[in-house]
Structure 1
């Protein structure tokens, strides 16, 4: 939440730490996406999606982590 109403906002990736939870995998692709989904008065909602894929081509291995997002807002 911001101290005043938000007119516009953008979400940017600030940092992340993601990895497989069941052993060593050769990483083929990492995808991370952030986007503002809603602005209501002083609240900005951000959707974050991320995925990891190893060289098997499947998304069947468990993984976890965190994504740190910074919101840049134009406030009233």
Structure 2
């Protein structure tokens, strides 16, 4: 199983536990997500990945972090 899939499964399990829903209730994941009003973890990870890339691109070329400068 991929990392993103594991995160999605875990998120769905937590949302179901928050609502007190069991798999026997046969409620769709979309309905559970609508009730909890939580964004999908895969979308959140993708958004943060692009934000980090933009943050890194704003650095000046050859700029070292503080830990690398100490050595």
The structure that is helix-richer by fraction is 2
Give the alignment's TM-score, normalised by structure 1: 0.25
Give the alignment's TM-score, normalised by structure 2: 0.26
The structure that is strand-richer by fraction is 1
